[in-house]
Amino acid sequence: MVPGLDEKDIEALLNDGVLTLKGEKRSEVEDQDRQFSERFYGRFERHIRLALRSGKMRSMRISGTAC
C-alpha cells in the first residue's frame, strides 16, 4: 500500500523481470468559511528490476493485487 492512496488508484505490472508501479492522486478541499478551494493532482510511475532466478516467478501479489 502507498500512503495516501487507495488500492484502486495503483496499478502493478510485472513484465520481463521489471515491476512497474503506476498511480495517481487527486484531492480537492473547499472551505466555505474562508472562501477558498484547493486542488492537487499528481501521477507517478516507478520501474523496479527484480532479480528473478530461472524464470520461476510467474506472478506475485502486492497488497491483494495479482500481477
> Could you give the number of structural domains in the chain?
1
Predicted TM-score (pTM) of this structure: 0.56
Which residue range(s) make up the domain with 32?
A: 1-48
Euclidean distance between CA atoms 3 and 64, whole angstroms:
16
What pLDDT does residue 47 have? Answer: 94
- 59 occurs within a structural domain: no
Output the pLDDT for position 61: 60
Q: What is the pLDDT of residue 40?
A: 81
pLDDT for position 48: 92
- Give the integer Cα–Cα distance in Å for 60 and 57: 7
**pLDDT tens-digit profile, the chain (67 residues):** 677 778 888 898 988 889 899 988 888 888 888 888 888 888 989 999 988 666 555 555 655 555 5
CB atoms within 10 A of CB 24: 13
In a domain, 61, yes or no: no
How far from each other are the two terminal CA atoms of the chain, in whole angstroms?
14
